[in-house]
Structure 1
Amino acid sequence: MKVLNYGSLNYDYVYEVDHINKPGETQSCQARNVFCGGKGLNQSVALARAGVLVYQGGLIGEDGQLFLDICRENGIDTSYLGRTEGPCGHAVIQLDKNGENSIMIYGGANQKQTPEHIAQVLENFGEGDILLLQNEVNGLKDLIDQAWKRQMKIILNPSPWNDVLKECDLKKVSIFLINEVEGEQITGKQKPEEILEEMERFYPDAQTVLTLGSQGAIWQGEGRQIRQEAYPVKTVDTTAAGDTFTGYFIAGLTENIPMEENLNRAARASAIAVSRMGAAPSIPLRREVESWTNF
């Protein structure tokens, strides 16, 4: 079983502020930091640090050498990471004193995928391999359709939710990884139990992992549900919390870890990540997660 994460790579410009700006408001920031991130990179780093050989698909721009360096430092295979003209994608992130964030994304190279490049990458994968997707690159419909034809297992984190996803046949997805906001956008429901009911009705053959921030997460599939509580920690930066959970959760699937144990390990990894600054830099190594006792 091979794992291909076809996703975004962004430079994250993080501005530390007292609170998230309201419309029309101007405020000074306490600090600015630049990190490498993007849901694609973050989730690949989490997978790699959890012990999975992960292949990174997608595109970087002319300023993307740092992404190649970080992938290689983390043992991420970049054989299917292409280059294109112009800049890489970037995100502008407001980070408030409570560790909550507000994010704006510029697509850059992430929005230059072509059907030809997608086909060239996917021809190296087949039945039983995992394709991990988010919605920060273009070409999502092609990726889902071509992976389905190859009988790959499609895992989707539909973030950000927009009209692009409405063009995709989401019944081809094996596992959805969503938070409460995305759950409401997909189902029109707000309460976790109602979101899960609707997900089961819409996509009866798929599993769903609904992350609930400080309230933990719920896995649903095979006619049952498992709830995982969050570990209380001092929150510094939540930017890569969900990506860390995703990477460790998928790593557990590749190892056939029992679901209760898998969710628990992913929750521990996510707790460590939110206690640190940055996106990819905050993601813990497997040995840190396994030895972590700060709860």
Structure 2
Amino acid sequence: MKVINFGSLNLDYVYHVAHIVAPGETQDTADRTIFCGGKGLNQSIALAKAGVEVYHAGMVGEGGEALISMCEKEKVGIHYIWKIPGPCGHKIIQVDENGQNSILLYGGANQKFTKNYVDEVLADFSENDVVLVQNEINLVDYIIEAASKKRMKIIFNLSPYNQNLEKCDLAKVSLFLLNEVEAEQMTGRSDVEGMLQELKYRFPAAEVVLTLGEEGCIYQDASRTFHQESFHVPVKDTTAAGDTFTGYFIAAKVFGLDVREGLIIASKAAAIAVMREGAASSIPEKAEVLDMEL
């Protein structure tokens, strides 16, 4: 079973601040660091580090050589990464003294997908394979439709949540991964129980993983619900925690592990990531995750 990840490739400009900047405020920063990132890149690397055969489908612009090199270094398949004219996608990330972040996203090359490109990539995959997608790229609706026609298992991380998702046939999604903010935007409910009920009502056949930050996460399918507590560790930077969790949880599914075991492994991986600075660079190796006692 192979995984093809249609996802973003970003250069992350990270600024360390005393607190997240308020409207109208000007604040000095302690420093600036540039990392390779993007939800797509981070999740591909997490999958690869968890031992999955994963290929990345994405676009890079000027200055994107570092992003391709990062994928190659981490054993992510790069055959489907295209280099195109124009600027790379990038993020401006503020990280405060408590490790919390605020992110401004510029799409750049990530918004240059074409239907022909999607078709060309998917021609190499079959119904036994998995397609993973996030919402930092364009044509998400077409990717879901095209993958569904090939009867692939579709996994969707609904981040960031915006009006583009209204065009997507979400009934074709096999597994949703989302956080509390995204779940509230999607369902109109502010309570966790209500979110889960609404998601089950709308998508009765789908699996759902709802991440709750310090409160852990909840898995739900048609007949089961599991809660997994988070592992409390010193927090340095939460930027790639969700992507690390996503990659490791999907890996557990690919390898046929029990859902509860997958939740534990993914939560451990995310805990390690928040203790480190950066996005892709903070994602732990599989051996670190399996050996860590929390």
- Using the size of structure 2 for normalisation, the TM-score is 0.99
1:62 deviates by: 2.8
Report the counterpart of residue 265 of structure 2 in structure 1.
265
Report the counterpart of residue 100 of structure 2 in structure 1.
100
> What letter corresponds to residue 78 of structure 2 in structure 1?
T
1:22 deviates by: 1.0
> What letter corresponds to residue 31 of structure 1 in structure 2?
D
Report the counterpart of residue 138 of structure 1 in structure 2.
138
Paired residues for 1:233-272 under 5 Å? 233-272=233-272
> What letter corresponds to residue 221 of structure 1 in structure 2?
D
- Structure 1: how far apart are the matches of 2:169 and 2:290? 38
1:164-203 residue CA offsets vs partner (Å, 9 max, x unmatched)? 1001101010000000000000000111111111000011
> What letter corresponds to residue 201 of structure 2 in structure 1?
R
**8 Å Cα contact 2:43/2:246 also seen in 1:** yes
- Structure 1: how far apart are the matches of 2:146 and 2:62? 28
Gaps of 5+ in 2: none
- Structure 1: how far apart are the matches of 2:62 and 2:267? 36
- Structure 1: how far apart are the matches of 2:138 and 2:200? 27
1:83 deviates by: 1.5
Report the counterpart of residue 41 of structure 1 in structure 2.
41
Gaps of 5+ in 1: none
Report the counterpart of residue 57 of structure 2 in structure 1.
57
- Structure 2: how far apart are the matches of 1:205 and 1:284? 32
1:260 deviates by: 0.8
1:215 deviates by: 0.4
> What letter corresponds to residue 195 of structure 1 in structure 2?
M
- Structure 2: how far apart are the matches of 1:255 and 1:178? 22
- Structure 2: how far apart are the matches of 1:146 and 1:62? 29
1:19 deviates by: 0.6
1:46 deviates by: 0.3
1:61 deviates by: 1.0
Report the counterpart of residue 112 of structure 1 in structure 2.
112
> What letter corresponds to residue 24 of structure 2 in structure 1?
G
> What letter corresponds to residue 81 of structure 1 in structure 2?
I
1:80-133 residue CA offsets vs partner (Å, 9 max, x unmatched)? 111111121000001000000000100110000011111100111111211000
Report the counterpart of residue 158 of structure 1 in structure 2.
158
After TM superposition, the runs of 4+ consecutive aligned structure 1 residues lying more than 3 A away are none
1:141 deviates by: 1.0
Report the counterpart of residue 29 of structure 2 in structure 1.
29
**Pair 1:69-2:69 in alignment:** yes
1:54-79 residue CA offsets vs partner (Å, 9 max, x unmatched)? 00001111321111111111000011
> What letter corresponds to residue 47 of structure 1 in structure 2?
L
> What letter corresponds to residue 259 of structure 1 in structure 2?
V
- Structure 2: how far apart are the matches of 1:292 and 1:211? 21
1:206-259 residue CA offsets vs partner (Å, 9 max, x unmatched)? 110000000000000131101100000000000000000000000000100011
1:148 deviates by: 0.4
How many residues align structurally?
294
Let me know the Cα RMSD of the aligned residues: 0.7
> What letter corresponds to residue 133 of structure 1 in structure 2?
V
- Structure 2: how far apart are the matches of 1:118 and 1:234? 41
- Structure 1: how far apart are the matches of 2:82 and 2:12? 20
- Structure 1: how far apart are the matches of 2:24 and 2:87? 29
- Structure 1: how far apart are the matches of 2:226 and 2:236? 28
> What letter corresponds to residue 110 of structure 1 in structure 2?
N
- Aligned sequence identity (%): 52
> What letter corresponds to residue 129 of structure 1 in structure 2?
D
Report the counterpart of residue 16 of structure 1 in structure 2.
16
- Structure 2: how far apart are the matches of 1:140 and 1:62? 23
Report the counterpart of residue 175 of structure 1 in structure 2.
175
> What letter corresponds to residue 44 of structure 2 in structure 1?
S
Report the counterpart of residue 121 of structure 2 in structure 1.
121
- Structure 1: how far apart are the matches of 2:259 and 2:51? 18
- Structure 1: how far apart are the matches of 2:23 and 2:63? 32
**Pair 1:209-2:209 in alignment:** yes
SS in 2 for 1:86: strand
